[in-house]
Amino acid sequence: MSTSGSVLGVGFRTLLRREILRYVRRPRNTFLPPMITNVLYFAVFGIVLGGRIDRIAGFRYIVFILPGLVVLGAISNAFENASFSIFHGRWNEYIHEALTSPLSYTSMVLAYIAASALRGILVGIIIAGVGFVFLTATVAPIGVARPGYLVAFGLVITVLFASFGVVGGLWARDFDYLTVMNQFIIRPLVFFGGVFYSLDVLPEPYRTLSLLNPMVYMVDGVRYGFLGYADIDPNLSLAVLSGLAAAVVALDVALFRRGYGLVD
């Protein structure tokens, strides 16, 4: 395969466009389910249970859980899109069209990651919108305390999980693998990552053990972007997550170059 030309050239943009159109053309499958799911989350956890829970770190409970739910939706959709796209292309053998094109491995990987990260960001924006509707109706509208941090963490975490999705799509042997990875690995880590509670309420050694969960840094960073409150230094979290994202992207390129999961 030729590797000539710009990494972000015409071939990259063409594959990126195809991957984006694949989910944009099916909004009922892509955007409606997370919207409905989070309406239920905000209704049950934010209003029903939130009315019986004291403030956490000075915030109403529905306000406190908003960033975590945004993270959950964003990274789940970024991961799902990349893993399904790669696996479906392998399963139906149309990924070979990209492999035999003049695209470099880096261009292909970046196109899949960028399209999937964009889906995660769009879903995150939808969930944030749902949350702001509930906040307006029940408490009061809130602003974004640290927009720069919010954008930075949003980009890093969606790129990171889109990159993990590429690994998952290459590793999966059937569709059940994709379900197992998302439902039994990613979501439990997110729920134990401080979505519904602050680390300060955990006794030792559970608080220290929680710091081994990478989801803690993601939820905490996005919460800092929304509310200006963090249990962990946001600069440290952003640096660690950025380094991890770069490492996983490099791993994706290496796996494509080796043909892992792409050739029998």
pLDDT tens sequence across 151-189: 999 999 999 999 999 999 998 888 777 777 777 777 788
Q: How many CB atoms lie within 10 A of CB 143?
A: 8
User: Which comes out higher in pLDDT, residue 195 or 226?
Assistant: 226
205 band by pLDDT with thresholds 50, 70 and 90:
confident
What is residue 2's predicted lDDT score, i.e. its pLDDT? Answer: 41
Characterize 188-216 residue by residue with b for buried, 16 or more Cβ atoms within 10 angstroms of its Cβ, and e for exposed: eebebbbbbbbbeeeeeeeeeebeebbbb
Q: Measured between alpha carbons, how far is 133 from 7 in angstroms, rounded to an integer?
A: 41
Cβ pair 82, 165 in contact under 8 A? yes
Cβ pair 116, 157 in contact under 8 A? no
What is residue 3's predicted lDDT score, i.e. its pLDDT? Answer: 46
Closest CA to 88 of 22, 158, 181, 16: 22
Average pLDDT of 42-61?
79
Q: Measured between alpha carbons, how far is 136 from 154 in angstroms, rounded to an integer?
A: 23
On the question of pLDDT at 1 being above 50, the answer is no
DSSP secondary structure code for residue 93 in this structure: T
**Omega within 30 of 0 (cis) for the link into 205:** yes
Average pLDDT of 112-141?
91
222 band by pLDDT with thresholds 50, 70 and 90:
very high
On the question of pLDDT at 128 being above 80, the answer is yes
What is residue 119's predicted lDDT score, i.e. its pLDDT? Answer: 96
Average pLDDT over the chain, rounded to an integer? 87
User: Which comes out higher in pLDDT, residue 126 or 52?
Assistant: 126
CA angle 204, 207, 211 (to 5 degrees): 140
CA angle 125, 62, 211 (to 5 degrees): 80
- pTM score, whole prediction: 0.90
